Structure 1
Amino acid sequence: MAPIRALCDARGIALIEDCAHCFIGEAGGRPVGAWGDYAIASSMKFLPIYEGGATVSAHHRLDGVALRSAGAGFEAKVALTSLEKVLRMAACRPCARPVAAAARQRRSLEPRETPPRDGSCARAGARLVG
């Protein structure tokens, strides 16, 4: 990262450090996110949060940055992904029991483990939340 930082400094270019796939770590003896003028990170790659992230800067004020939702298209993707997970769990008898119980009790499900995408079960299951 040092050569990239030096290049940006020499040409007066802001360095935006994308930390989407490295939530915690170190590069070249400095914490990830410390090289850039700005650093951005995605929470959904590490936490069970479908929308969110962070923009930080040790050099510039961020109070003028406008925050916006990802929009209806992203919300639809989240809904379809969640439905797909429930349908995969419901296709397996051991996994279907907590799905049916949650539906009867109008409670949420929290997957213990993501079932395989190939349709097989691996007995991932789920537990009731709330």
Structure 2
Amino acid sequence: MELELDGRAVSGENCFAVFCNSRFTGGNMLMAPEARIDDGFMDIIMVGKLSRTSLLSTLPKIYNGSHLRHPAVSHVKARTVKIKTRPEKTLLADGEVFGTTPATITVHPKMIRYLA
């Protein structure tokens, strides 16, 4: 997977990468504990290549956010991300297929107004 984060190139073998605008994903998984929905950034969580055993032991830690302490897990923030993979990979947004790589994802701050 090749990523360009605000113009900075990042490449490497990853099990997966998650692009978050909020702290939780999938209901109650604390994927990006430091994410703030109104900060103008997405939080990118990248999980490097892991053995099946290590991956299976790390995944439950997503529920309390401690997965970020694993040495193969990295967390960065960016406003724009360009994603390239070989071969082409399916992209999911909120569990729904929304496209394939290559793709560009950009945060547009304050585009949606929330009413309380």
Asked whether the two chains share a fold, i.e. TM above 0.5, the reply is no
Q: Which has the higher helix share?
A: 1
The higher relative CO (CA closer than 8 Å, separation ≥ 6) is in 2
Structure 1-normalised TM-score?
A: 0.20
Question: Who wins on radius of gyration, i.e. which is larger?
Answer: 1
